């Protein structure tokens, strides 16, 4: 939905403003969800 996309955009913009430097702990351990709701299911970061 449009509201969900807007909420995600605001959350990501806020994250990047407050924590500009971060990295994936282990990029190969990122798990992905498929289907209607697709994207990372688990994504460990270090900041």
Question: What are the residues facing 42 on neighbouring strands?
Answer: 31
Check residue 25 and give its pLDDT.
95
Q: How far apart are the first and last CA of the chain?
A: 30
User: pLDDT by residue (tens digit) across 1-43?
Assistant: 899 999 999 999 999 999 999 999 999 999 999 888 788 999 9
Q: Give the Cβ contact number of residue 14 at 10 Å.
A: 10
Using alpha carbons, select from 17, 33, 35, 34 the residue that is nearest to residue 43: 33
Check residue 1 and give its pLDDT.
82
């Amino acid at each position: 939905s449009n509201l969900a996309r807007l909420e995600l955009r605001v959350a990501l913009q806020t994250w990047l403003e407050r924590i500009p430097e971060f990295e994936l702990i282990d990029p190969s351990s990122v798990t992905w969800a498929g289907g209607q709701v697709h994207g990372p299911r688990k994504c460990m970061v270090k900041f």
